[in-house]
Amino acid sequence: MDPVIFLIQVLNGVQYGLLLFLVASGLTLIFGIMGIINLAHGSFYMIGAYLAFSLTRQIGDFWLALAAGVVIAMLLGIALEWLVMRFLYERDHLYQVLLTYGLILVFEELRSLVWGDDVHGVQVPPALDFSIPLTDTLSYQVYRLAMSAICLAIAFGMYWLIQRTRLGMMIRAGSVNRDMAQSLGINIGLLYRLVFALGFALAALAGMLAAPISSVYPGMGNQVLIISFVVVVIGGIGSVKGALIAALAIGLADTFGKVLLPQIAGMVTYLLMAAVLLWRPRGIFGRA
């Protein structure tokens, strides 16, 4: 492979990986800190994309629509946690799986009722709507670079939040021992509600950011869901650092897999996960 092409492929892999990280970060947060397996995570991503579609139409400016979308997503997350999710903390993981599976069906149909079944697109914000030529035939979309930068910023933001702030400390305490943290005076109920809302918003934000380069269509959450789980598991549940590394690994594996091993390209991600888990049964940074 030509060295320039190789570098471009690395760039492709990294960019894809960073977007995966953004989607999976919400999942690892909810799963790692609250212990809830949430199959509806793909639906949150889809809701984000559809919100981006509607809000950009109404408001006109993409970034304003994004801000509004994040706020709406947080409110939806709080509502969902209060209505349904808070009854799952004490339950066996499998009931969480079943309930959130039911939620997928509900969200798909609600989406169909509210937005219909057509395929939609979102305009790339005009300021970023151009491409930088990399070779004589290939250019790179600046929006993708911007998106990658945002994903990185969020990665650092999350790390800083969880490791360096008081709130983060409470979150970490709550995830290790819920009752103990509560008896120390932390309002666990409120904390969990916030974390869940944050997880919801992160997934929705990923959907919103991806909407201009992707498309908005029924069932778009399904693929994202399974990949997110793979990222979380490879990285280690609850580890944001792990999710970032795993996402980058998958991004690169998927990219190079398509190019070098097209016959087994579909399996590459799963081969990677199987290999990692057989080497490190708890994921790369998973807690024992």
Tokens of 272: 């990677």
Tell me: does residue 68 bind another protein (CB under 8 A). Answer: no
According to the binding rule CB under 8 A, does residue 126 interact with another protein?
A: no
Nearest CA to 240 out of 182, 127, 156 is that of: 156
Q: Does 58 bind another protein (CB under 8 A)?
A: no
Q: Which helix (H) or strand (E) holds 132?
A: strand 131-133
Minimum CB distance to another protein smaller for 174 or for 221: 221
- Please list the alpha-helical segments (H only) found in 36-165: 41-59, 62-83, 93-115, 142-164
Does residue 288 interact with another protein by CB under 8 A? no
Determine, following the binding rule CB under 8 A, whether residue 86 of this chain makes contact with another protein: no
Show the site string, 138-157: x = touches another protein by CB under 8 A, - = not.
xxxx-xx-------------
Q: Which of 59, 67, 74, 98 binds another protein (CB under 8 A)?
A: 98
Stretch that binds another protein, among 69-77, 153-161, 193-201, 223-231 (CB under 8 A): 223-231
Smallest distance from another protein to CB 185, Å: 30
CB of 21 to another protein, least distance (A): 14
Residue selected from 59, 67, 72, 97 as contacting another protein according to rule CB under 8 A: 97
Among 64, 75, 79, 110, binds another protein (CB under 8 A): 110
The tokens of 221 are what? 């959450």
Half-sphere exposure of 123 (CA within 13 A, CB side): 14
- By the rule CB under 8 A, 242 interacts with another protein: no
According to the binding rule CB under 8 A, does residue 16 interact with another protein?
A: yes
Does residue 3 interact with another protein by CB under 8 A? no
Name the one range near another protein by CB under 8 A: 155-163, 172-180, 191-199, 218-226.
218-226
CA distance 224 to 251: 13
Q: Phi and psi at residue 139, in whole multiples of 5°?
A: -120, 165
Residues 6+ apart with CB under 8 A from 193: 78, 81, 82, 86
Backbone φ/ψ region at 283: left (φ over 0), alpha (ψ -120 to 50), beta:
left
